[in-house]
Amino acid sequence: MISHRSTLVFDLDGTLADTAPDIIATLNAVLASLGHPPLPNHHAIQLVSTGARALLAAGLKAAHVPFDDGKLDRLFVQFLAHYEEHIADHTQLYPGVIASLDRLSDDGFTFAVCTNKMERHSHLLLEKLGIKSRFSAICGRDTFPFFKPDPRHLTMTIDQAGGHQQKAIMIGDSITDIDTARNANLPVIAVNFGYSETAVSALDPDALIEHYDHLYDAVIMLNQKQRN
């Protein structure tokens, strides 16, 4: 392993994989159980990056379903159970992920996942997608007492992966990922094909890519800056 290479920390939903179809289907299944029609896809997809519980609460509000904390807790259990059963029905890795990870791994980089998805679901999904073994750490919303955009979620993920906090790069798709990296004083690469409500180009990431074919060059550029 090349010691000066960074640990690359990936978000999951909207960054490594297009998970929205199965997440939205789960939200709509919960709404259907309450006798409500599904949310339009264009509205629901904007909620995906908020995390499952916040997504459920926002979806209930959008569907004009009254709820209190107790009802939300019960529906959240239902949401998680349904999602676990259908976690990879339609979810797919974004084009170029495998080739990009191969090339970066061959060049000495190590990988981790830092996501606001529940840890159990993160492990399960990455296993079903065939890439779980590539990551030295997979840390979800419930792994630590902190979660993104708290920088400790990112820095503790790096620690768990055996990396160095001064030599790591975040890769994500939303303001949450960019804020997390900024709060941890780390560079961040944004993908422009995820679930951000705001165009990520307007959020001033250190690098922006349109396809995983471009990730290697962006990583090398930022890694060299970290070494200088």
Catalytic residues: 11
Nearest to 149 by CA among 51, 75, 2, 22: 51
Nearest to 3 by CA among 110, 160, 103, 136: 110
> Rounded to 5 degrees, what angle do the CA atoms 111, 119, 151 make?
65
Q: Give the alpha-carbon dihedral of 32, 34, 37, 38, to 10 degrees.
A: -60
On whether the CB atoms of residues 23 and 13 are closer than 8 A, the answer is: yes
